[in-house]
Amino acid sequence: MVLRFLAAVFFFVSSMFFVVNLSTVQAQEGEQLLPDPGVVSYTFRHQFEQDFEGTLDLIKGIGITNIEFSNLFGHSSEEVRKMLDDRGMICTSFGVGYDALVNYTEQVAEDAKALGASFVRVAWIPHDSPFSVDDADRAIRDFTRAGRMLKEHGLRFAYHNHGYEFRPFGDGTLFDYMLRQSDPDYVNFQMDTFWVAHPGHDPVELLKTYPDRFVLVHLKDLSHDAEHNYSGGAPAEYDVPLGTGQIDFEAFLKAAQDSAIEYFYIEDETDEVVRRVPQSREYLLSITK
């Protein structure tokens, strides 16, 4: 297929690119703050829809072996696991929808375990705008119940913020409320740096405030000219390559060294991911202690 051919070509080109930069990486070996970033499957959703195996080859050619899957693109969890195993790749987190988590928890657990994932995460809470404390309370109840069931399967649950939770509430935000009201034994959090910055907050300060509650992170940058709001949606042009926007990733990765974060995933929602993901990865590898 065309994509497999392009993957092979890209693998060669990217390999040569990283060989050229190998001296820089080697000079920093042992000092990198993030030596092995993963990627979110949503980043390569268009490629996966065309050629699943070819896209796995493309991602591995970039130098990434850890994928957080939020869509299996018509394959079973067992089929995806075999394709990953064949390439020496892993899935560490499995993203599902709210309804699947709440109403099909056992099936979600079985799929996550088949994939080899340690985490199950949800990235959206159904709600009428604006997001309210009642929405937060309902989500906390559902997350706690599902998180308890997942824990029985040896899995951990994480909720991924999406911007709308940062509306002011009490002495902080509704996101602060969710963190404080949820049980850390069953409810963890995945920070999306873009969706912290988009409503006007600092991912670094949020991580320092709650270092033990975040176990996963989506690394995504926000353009300097972005307008802040609580909508949970943003124009594609707000999503820029890591290191070119307003988020201080050097400070973030340093703060992450003293946090509970286990896995870091690059996320890019544009149509330029084949070009931009290697750029973002190289930027992350350049950040040293």
**CA–CA dist 188, 61 (Å, integer):** 32
Residues 6+ apart with CB under 8 A from 19: none
Which fold does the domain 2-14+35-285 belong to in CATH? TIM Barrel (3.20.20)
Entry pTM: 0.92
CA-CA-CA-CA torsion sign (251, 254, 259, 264): positive
pLDDT at 156: 98
Q: Before 278, cis peptide (omega within 30)?
A: no
Pick from 230, 244, 250, 182: nearest CA to 34: 250
Crossing angle for the helix pair 77-87 and 105-115, to the nearest 10 degrees: 20
Q: How far is CA 126 from each of CA 101, 122, 134, rounded to the nearest angstrom?
A: 12, 11, 12
pLDDT tens string, the chain, 289 residues long: the values are 545 535 444 543 444 344 335 434 433 455 899 999 999 999 999 999 999 999 999 999 999 999 999 999 999 999 999 999 999 999 999 999 999 999 999 999 999 999 999 999 999 999 999 999 999 999 999 999 999 999 999 999 999 999 999 999 999 999 999 999 999 999 999 999 999 999 999 999 999 999 999 999 999 999 999 999 999 999 999 999 999 999 999 999 999 999 999 999 999 999 999 999 999 999 999 999 9
Per-residue pLDDT of 59-94, as tens digits, reads: 999 999 999 999 999 999 999 999 999 999 999 999
Q: Residue 224: is it exposed, middle or buried by C-beta count within 10 angstroms (0-12/13-18/19+)?
A: exposed
pLDDT digits (tens, 9 = 90+) for 221-270: 999 999 999 999 999 999 999 999 999 999 999 999 999 999 999 999 99
